[in-house]
Amino acid sequence: MIRKLFIRLFRILAGVALLSGALVVADATVAGAVPSVSSVSPESGPATGGTNITINGSGFVPGARVRIGQGDGVVGAIAATNVVFLSSHKLTATTPGPAIAGFFSVFVTQNGGVTNNPCSPDCGGDIFTYAPVGAAPTVSRITPNSGPIAGGTAITITGTGFSNPARVLVVHGSGTPTSLRASNVDVVSSTEITATTGPTSIAGTFSQRVDDSGGISAPSAGSTFSYTPTTTGGLLPGETTWGGAPSYDFGTNDGIDYAEPAFSSITGPSSPQAMAKLGALTLDRIWGWDDMSTATIQQKITAAKNSGMTCLFMLGAINDLAWMKTTVELAETMGCHLFEFGNEPDQYNSAAGQSILNYTNMWDTDVPQLRALSVCSGAHACLFGGPAVAYPTSADSSVGNYPSDLAHFLGQSAAAGVRADFVSYHDYPCNGAAAWDSGTTKAQEDCLNHMTDDNNGYSGATGTCTLTSGSCTQTANGAFGVDQSEVLAWEKQYYGTTVPTGISEYNFDPGSSTLAAWANDNTFMYDWEVAAIDAFVANRFAFATEFTSLNYSGYGALDMFSDTAPYGPKAQFYGIVSEVQKYGGPSTLAIPNPLP
């Protein structure tokens, strides 16, 4: 205790400017309440003084005095005027002036001892910024604008009016009292700052502020930073993170070749394969069936390699064990290590006969035999996942007492000791969206709100329900965050833990009557894809593969490349590429304006 008191007194006498965390100074020889400052509001004002401020904290007593530092600690601090004691938790005062421009500690002096601000050093709630006459700094862009909650993301802040020294704060709530300070802040120039994000336990998107001698920057469209949770269950083999985003969130399907041309059959410097590589797409879900020749399967895997993507091979014919063994052996020798067992067992045309019971029985019997293949041993062990249900909450007649087909699969595979290495499902959140509203623009807005809304309500631009029918609190399929949270909860319930979990098919689907019209709305498709990937990153998806690249899916409407020569990319492709670049992926492909 004596050592701590000595250190505090030394810091005061040394005149050290405490720019983070307040010292509350008192006559230590007189017993009484020990004050503490938690926040100052407003947090900035002109260097001429005269700003009425409210000081929140604890332990305040009548007769308390307020001082604001000027760079040499409490010794050189200048006294505020009009100090009013309102309660033991609140004082008001008027800032003194003229003062030196910059950010300084706010000190409270009273007969109560000496203490440090408990909010120190991260939140900076005891700081007041004296702004000079002139413009405050502005933030226009943060690159990357997301990172893991563990912190450590190197960011570049672009704006105007930056000066040295400066603080960078990510605001968790309403102002700097609940903000988190960045480290390694370097004012490169008046328009650029580099810094490293600090750790936090809070995930979400928050305003980022720059505090320097010019004042505190105001929130803007480009000043947000998203703290993303660590992917639950870890990453898949070969996967990394870009600015906190799992890199396999930027994938696609090659899909069933409904008709030529198809993604895997077109090559060349401007082909869809070449463009996918330039766009840095990462994961190719390859469809395999027992009616495909060996040459066709080889062509599909080669297309994934040519595109720079990792192979996720979907074993469609799960009722043919011999074919699956041969296919896994072939795919493994070509570099595929991820295998999805079947496709949409909850649909009438599945090999499981629209029965999750049949599907799970096949899984429990066949997957151990596939894992026992010699090619699935050693450094490149095969990973098997499923159940790739069409909707995460679907429940067929064979589900038993489980709440869904997916929950049935988890419970029964756990009981059999044949747990999935990863979990996959499909989601088309805007299914039937054209009927949600009579106006196309309104219906598209509802679609965007629905698929990204974690609370399963549609706030819209005005913060109100935008639907003309139905309930904004309905629990229908589609809200990506709601679905992912429910799946992860089932994993914890039946597996006792979570595994890498993602979505192996997704796209918009407003209804067949408007499918082509919406797909040809370039702005909507671009915005839809951007919002979808942001939702995947925010909601801990280990992987996501868009449906689909080029295979005439939905009569071409759901393809991200044109199905006519020269098979150029469409707006949805550029939406993915823009997200790759936003999160720090290795693509430098220019986004055209206007969109194609």
CA 480 to chain centre: 12
At residue 341, the 3 state secondary structure works out as: strand
Is the whole model's pTM more than 0.85, yes or no? no
Residue 323 included in any domain:
yes
How are beta strands 241-242 and 215-216 bridged, if at all? unpaired
User: 288 phi and psi, to 5 degrees?
Assistant: -125, 135
- Contact in structure between 108 and 60 (CB atoms under 8 Å): yes
Q: In the prediction, which pLDDT does 19 show?
A: 32
> Using CA atoms, how far apart are residues 366 and 385, in angstroms rounded to an integer?
12
Domain check: are 415 and 550 in the same one?
A: yes
Q: In the prediction, which pLDDT does 460 show?
A: 33
Question: Of 228, 259, 288, which residue sits at a domain end?
Answer: 228
> Nearest CA to 502 among 530, 539, 477, 534?
539
Domain check: are 188 and 75 in the same one?
A: no
Domain check: are 384 and 527 in the same one?
A: yes
Q: In the prediction, which pLDDT does 232 show?
A: 62
> Nearest CA to 259 among 556, 566, 575?
556
135 secondary structure, DSSP code? P
Domain check: are 257 and 224 in the same one?
A: no
At residue 407, the 3 state secondary structure works out as: helix
Q: How many domains does the chain have?
A: 3
Q: In the prediction, which pLDDT does 294 show?
A: 96
At residue 454, the 3 state secondary structure works out as: coil
> Using CA atoms, how far apart are residues 195 and 193, in angstroms rounded to an integer?
7
Domain check: are 210 and 251 in the same one?
A: no
At residue 585, the 3 state secondary structure works out as: coil
The CA–CA distances, whole Å, from 229 to 226, 255, 478 equal 10, 30, 21
Sign of the dihedral through C-alpha 90, 91, 92, 93: negative
Domain check: are 43 and 190 in the same one?
A: no
Q: In the prediction, which pLDDT does 340 show?
A: 98
Question: Of 57, 88, 119, which residue sits at a domain end?
Answer: 119
Residue 451 included in any domain:
no
Q: Compute the chain's Rg from CA coordinates.
A: 29
Strand ranges inside 327-421, DSSP E: 338-341, 383-389
Domain check: are 257 and 304 in the same one?
A: yes
- CB-count exposure of residue 307 (10 Å: 0-12, 13-18, 19+): buried
Please, what is the Cα angle at 12 between 97 and 59, to 5 degrees? 80
Q: In the prediction, which pLDDT does 214 show?
A: 65
Question: Of 70, 89, 119, which residue sits at a domain end?
Answer: 119
Residue 259 included in any domain:
yes
Percent helix, strand and coil across the chain, each to the nearest 5: 25, 25, 45
Domain that holds residue 209: 138-228
CA 426 to chain centre: 19
Domain check: are 350 and 401 in the same one?
A: yes
The CA–CA distances, whole Å, from 85 to 113, 269, 554 equal 18, 74, 70
Report the 10 Å Cβ neighbour count for 45. Answer: 20
- Contact in structure between 268 and 340 (CB atoms under 8 Å): no
Domain check: are 175 and 285 in the same one?
A: no
- Contact in structure between 313 and 341 (CB atoms under 8 Å): no
Residue 468 included in any domain:
no
Tell me if the bond preceding 98 is cis, omega within 30° of 0: yes
Residue 95 included in any domain:
yes
Residue 270 included in any domain:
yes
Half-sphere exposure of 54 (CA within 13 A, CB side): 9
- Contact in structure between 247 and 237 (CB atoms under 8 Å): no
The full DSSP string for 264-310 is: GG--STTSHHHHHHHTT--EEEEEE-TTS-HHHHHHHHHHHHHTT-E
Domain check: are 354 and 222 in the same one?
A: no
Give me the amino acid identity at 100: I
The CA–CA distances, whole Å, from 316 to 39, 132, 388, 430 equal 60, 68, 11, 26
Half-sphere exposure of 75 (CA within 13 A, CB side): 11
In order along its 596 residues, the chain shows pLDDT tens digits of 333 332 233 233 323 333 333 333 333 223 455 788 888 888 888 888 899 999 988 888 888 889 888 876 667 789 999 999 998 888 999 999 888 877 788 888 887 544 344 333 334 567 888 876 666 788 888 988 877 776 788 899 998 888 887 778 776 544 444 467 788 889 998 889 998 887 664 566 777 778 776 667 878 878 888 776 655 667 898 899 888 789 999 999 997 766 678 899 999 999 999 999 999 999 999 999 999 999 999 999 999 999 999 999 999 999 999 999 999 999 999 999 999 999 999 887 677 778 999 999 999 999 999 999 999 987 668 999 999 999 898 999 999 999 999 999 999 999 999 999 999 999 988 877 777 666 677 677 777 777 665 444 333 333 344 444 444 433 333 478 878 888 999 999 999 999 999 999 998 876 666 788 888 899 999 989 998 998 898 888 999 999 999 987 666 788 899 988 899 999 999 999 999 999 999 999 999 989 88
Half-sphere exposure of 285 (CA within 13 A, CB side): 34
Domain check: are 182 and 73 in the same one?
A: no
The DSSP bridge partners found for residue 168 are 210
- CATH assignment of the domain containing 392: 3.20.20.80
The CA–CA distances, whole Å, from 536 to 250, 361, 368, 453 equal 10, 31, 31, 12
> Using CA atoms, how far apart are residues 55 and 308, in angstroms rounded to an integer?
57
Domain check: are 520 and 384 in the same one?
A: yes
At residue 363, the 3 state secondary structure works out as: helix
How are beta strands 383-389 and 90-94 bridged, if at all? unpaired
Residue 487 included in any domain:
yes
Residue 34 included in any domain:
yes
- CATH assignment of the domain containing 188: 2.60.40.10
Q: In the prediction, which pLDDT does 555 show?
A: 62
